[in-house]
């Protein structure tokens, strides 16, 4: 399969009071058409910023894309004009956010908001746009879509609002959907509904999805491939199965091991959780070495000297760590 979106060596800098913060540091990613790519990592590691860069929405100032390219079918979005980006956003790439309440306009009916989005990108009549809105609401599983289309956002529950957001994002049949923590604000039972919905829609329409989350469980549920981020770097990427069962970067291993997983048949034996000691470093104070070095149990002298590059360990699996062989052997 061919990559429809390919990010190369993307660097995003933010000017802050404490100095320059390199929020994204030589990120490279490929999204193949029709796949679901997961991006995981802790708060502040740059997941949302990756999404905003793709959408051309990096807040500037204080932020700036200082290097790299984002190519959509060969067209570099970093260089694209504002007018072109407006076409791309919503038309080719669309995005849904964590908090569905704040991303819908409270004073308009949800149907109008979806129709408006369609009218912006397609040359069709108002009536057709409204019909499309209702059709989309049906598709995302909202009961009585004709009635619900006339509702205002506050009249819907959190799960419903997120469905509306998805309907709006998919209304112009985009080729890429970016979902930034779409279920963090929702209950587990509703979260499961949204996952199933995304899965079904993806299979039906073939839209490629970038799924941003801090929840390994959500990744396991949905993603075909995963990229793990730490302090502005991608430190490991590969097939979901490989990452979950055979993580190779010390951070990924720590991240997977520290989550208390729900067991179907728990026993009396309850060991303490394994911990990643220390805290995430401040982006303004990253040294020249591996960003994970201050917390890494496998660190060797070279780790603090030079930043490891992400390299392939096999055809589909890449890791940024000098000591992979040693880490895996332990």
Partner 1 sequence: MSENTLLEVQDLKVHFGGKKLFRKAQIVHAVDGVSFSVPKGQTLGIVGESGSGKTTTALAVLRLVPITAGTIRIGDVEISSLEKEDLREARRKVQMVFQDPYSSLDPRRRVGDIVREPLDLMNIGEEEDRDQMVHDLFVQVGLRPELASLFPHQFSGGQRQRIGLARALATKPELIVCDEPVSALDVAVQAQILNLMRKLQEDLGLTYLFISHDLGVVQHLCDHVAVMYLGQIVEQADRISLFSNPQHPYTKALLAAVPKARPRDGTEKRVPLTGDPPSPINLPTGCRFAGRCPVAIEKCHSIAPALKDRGNGHLASCHLLD
Partner 2 sequence: MAVIESSQDIVQSQSPWREAARAFRQSWAGMLGIFILILVILFTFVGPFFYPVDPFEIIWAPLTPPGATERAPLGTDYLGRDILAGLIHGGPATLYVGLVAGIITITIGILVGAFAGFYRGMVDEFLMRITEFFQVLPALLFAMVLVTLFTPTIYVVSLAIGIVSWPTTARLTRAEFLRIRNLEYVNAARSIGAKNRRIIWRVILPNALAPLIVAATLTVGIAILFEAGLSFLGLGDPNMFSWGLMIGAGREYILDGWWVVTLPGFMIFLTVLGFSLVGDGLNDAFNPKLRER
Chain contacts with partner 1 (rule: CB under 8 A): 42-43, 157-160, 187-193, 195-196, 214-221, 240-241, 244-245, 254-256, 258-268, 270, 272-276, 279-280
Tell me which residues in 5-64 interact with Mg ion (CB under 5 A): 48
CA distance 131 to 12: 41
Task: Indicate which of ligand ATP, Mg ion, ligand SF4, none lies near residue 97 (CB less than 5 to 8 Å, by partner kind).
Answer: none
Instruction: Tell me how far apart the alpha carbons of residues 320 and 323 are, in angstroms, rounded to a whole number.
Output: 9
Q: How many CB atoms sit inside 10 A of residue 323's CB?
A: 21
256 Rama sector, left if φ>0, alpha if ψ -120 to 50, beta otherwise: alpha
Q: Report the partner that residue 241 touches, choosing among ligand SF4, ligand ATP, partner 1, none (CB closer than 5 to 8 A by kind).
A: partner 1
> Binding residues for ligand ATP, per CB under 6 A?
14, 16, 21, 23, 41, 43-49, 59, 62, 214, 283
Chosen residue from 151, 243, 292, 310 binding ligand SF4 by CB under 6 A: 292
- Asked if 36 and 209 touch (Cβ cutoff 8 Å), the reply is yes
CA angle at residue 249 from 248 to 254, to 5 degrees?
Answer: 105
CA 312 to mean position of chain CA atoms: 22
Give yes or no for residue 230 binding ligand SF4 (CB under 6 A): no
x/- mask, partner 2, residues 260-299, rule CB under 8 A, reads: ------------------xxxxx--x--------x-----
- With CB cut-offs between 5 and 8 Å by kind, which of partner 2, Mg ion, ligand ATP, none does residue 278 bind? partner 2
d(CA 75, CA 228): 26
Q: How far is the CB of 279 from ligand ATP (least distance, A)?
A: 13
Output the smallest distance, CB 274 to ligand SF4, in A.
16
**Residue 61, both tokens:** 């100032």
Q: How far is residue 135's CA from residue 289's CA, in Å, rounded to a whole number? A: 52
Helix (H) or strand (E) holding 312: strand 311-314
What is the rounded distance in angstroms from the CA atom of residue 256 to the CA atom of residue 263?
15
Which residues sit at the interface with ligand SF4, rule CB under 6 A?
Answer: 250, 290, 292-293, 296, 298-299, 303, 308, 321-323
Which residues sit at the interface with partner 2, rule CB under 8 A?
Answer: 16-18, 62, 278-282, 285, 294
């Amino acid at each position: 399969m061919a990559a429809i979106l390919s990010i190369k060596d993307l660097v995003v800098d933010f000017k802050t009071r404490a100095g320059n913060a390199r929020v994204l540091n030589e990120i490279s990613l490929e999204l193949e058409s029709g796949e679901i790519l997961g991006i995981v990592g802790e708060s502040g590691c740059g997941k949302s910023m990756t999404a905003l860069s793709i959408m051309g929405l990096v807040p500037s100032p204080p932020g700036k894309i200082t290097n790299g390219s984002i190519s959509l079918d060969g067209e570099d979005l970093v260089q694209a004009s504002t007018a072109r980006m407006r076409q791309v956003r919503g038309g080719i790439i669309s995005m849904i956010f964590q908090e569905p309440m704040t991303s819908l306009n409270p004073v308009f009916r949800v149907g109008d908001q979806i129709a408006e989005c369609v009218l912006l990108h397609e040359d069709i009549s108002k009536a057709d746009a409204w019909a499309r809105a209702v059709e989309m609401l049906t598709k995302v599983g909202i009961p009585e879509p004709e009635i619900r289309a006339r509702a205002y956002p506050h009249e819907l529950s959190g799960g419903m609002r997120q469905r509306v957001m998805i309907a709006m994002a998919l209304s112009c049949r985009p080729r890429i959907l970016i979902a930034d923590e779409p279920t963090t604000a929702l209950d587990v039972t509703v979260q499961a509904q949204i996952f199933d919905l995304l899965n079904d829609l993806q299979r039906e329409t073939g839209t490629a999805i970038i799924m941003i989350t801090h929840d390994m469980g959500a990744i396991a549920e949905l993603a075909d491939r995963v990229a793990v981020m730490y302090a502005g770097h991608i430190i490991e990427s590969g097939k979901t199965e490989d990452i979950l069962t055979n993580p190779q970067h010390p951070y990924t291993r720590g991240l997977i091991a520290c989550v208390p997983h729900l067991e179907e048949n728990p026993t009396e034996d309850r060991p303490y959780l394994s911990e990643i000691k220390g805290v995430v470093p401040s982006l303004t104070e990253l040294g020249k070495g591996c960003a994970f070095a201050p917390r890494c149990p496998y660190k060797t002298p070279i780790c603090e000297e030079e930043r490891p590059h992400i390299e392939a360990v096999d055809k589909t699996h890449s890791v940024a760590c000098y000591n992979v062989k040693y880490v895996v052997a332990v």
